[in-house]
Amino acid sequence: MTHTQAIGQDVRRSLVGRFVAFLYGLAAYAVFFASFLYAIGFVSGLVVPKTIDTGSVVPITKALIVNILLMSLFAVQHSVMARRQFKEWWTQYVPKSVERSTYVLFASLALVLLFWQWRPILTVVWQVANPQIAMAIIGISFVGWLVVLTSTFLINHFELFGLHQVANNLAGRPMPAPRFRTPLFYKLVRHPIYLGFIVAFWAAPTMTIGHLLFAAVTTAYIVVGALLEEHDLIEMFGDDYRHYRQRVSMLVPWRKSA
């Protein structure tokens, strides 16, 4: 084999590897998007076969243990894999081009496991009897989901979920350096994605204990996750993000940061 032939084989292998990574990123994104759509139905109790208030009813103690373990698994995976120190270790074994896609895939699978194994607790905490008011509350919940999705596009939806990385890798282009931007919702709160989730989870015309548990635990995790994320953002953007924190509140639009 000549030197030129060897180089040609290396180039082909590289192209095949980049193409496989791109297909992997597409598959991970598809799993994410399907789980996101299912999450809307799961929380709102619409369309999907298994919701937050359907499924096998078990004794409340068992339901609490199972549900808290499921949410804890998602929280630990979601937080640990997002940390810079973990990424530095993880990318010794996983190519950087698919690191984000792998994170998205694992998070989505943890969410699918939660949907599958969730145990409903059907005792009603509150229930809105008026159908017009109930529909309005469901509408508010959907507004929350819309804020979540819109906010991802305001920054970089495809980078956030790994597609930008695998597409650039396929094209042989490096990822651009991160830029600090605060478009639209980000001028009102620092974490509009998290705010959208909180609205979506709490705006329920019928609130069962199971739904309340889900909303309360996920809200607590969101606050902790936001604080951890802000530490990383300060490391990344320095004084730009520190000044941003002083100007804009974390989750509540009408309350300024201290």
Q: Decide if 23 is inside a domain.
A: yes
Query: Cα dist. 113→136, 148, 155, 178, 213 in Å?
Result: 30, 22, 28, 32, 17
The total of structural domains in the chain comes to 1
pLDDT by residue, tens only, the chain of 258 residues: 554 444 444 445 678 889 999 999 999 999 999 999 999 999 999 999 999 999 999 999 999 999 999 999 999 998 889 888 898 899 999 999 999 999 999 999 999 999 999 999 999 999 999 999 999 999 999 999 999 999 999 999 999 999 999 999 999 998 888 889 999 999 999 999 999 999 999 999 999 999 999 999 999 999 999 998 999 899 999 999 999 999 999 998 875 544
Q: What is the pTM of this model?
A: 0.91
Phi and psi at residue 107, to the nearest 5°: -65, -40
Q: Decide if 173 is inside a domain.
A: yes
CA gap 4, 13 in Å, rounded: 14
For 205-227, the pLDDT digits (tens) are 999 999 999 999 999 999 999 99
- Cβ pair 81, 73 in contact under 8 A: no
- Cβ pair 94, 166 in contact under 8 A: no
Q: Decide if 190 is inside a domain.
A: yes
CA 5 to chain centre: 45
Domain with 220 in it: 3-247
Q: Decide if 68 is inside a domain.
A: yes
Q: Decide if 217 is inside a domain.
A: yes
For 75-93, the pLDDT digits (tens) are 999 888 988 889 889 999 9
CA gap 124, 38 in Å, rounded: 23
Q: What does 170-223 look like in DSSP terms, one character per residue?
A: HHT-PPPPP-----GGGGTBS-HHHHHHHHHHH--SEEEHHHHHHHHHHHHHHH
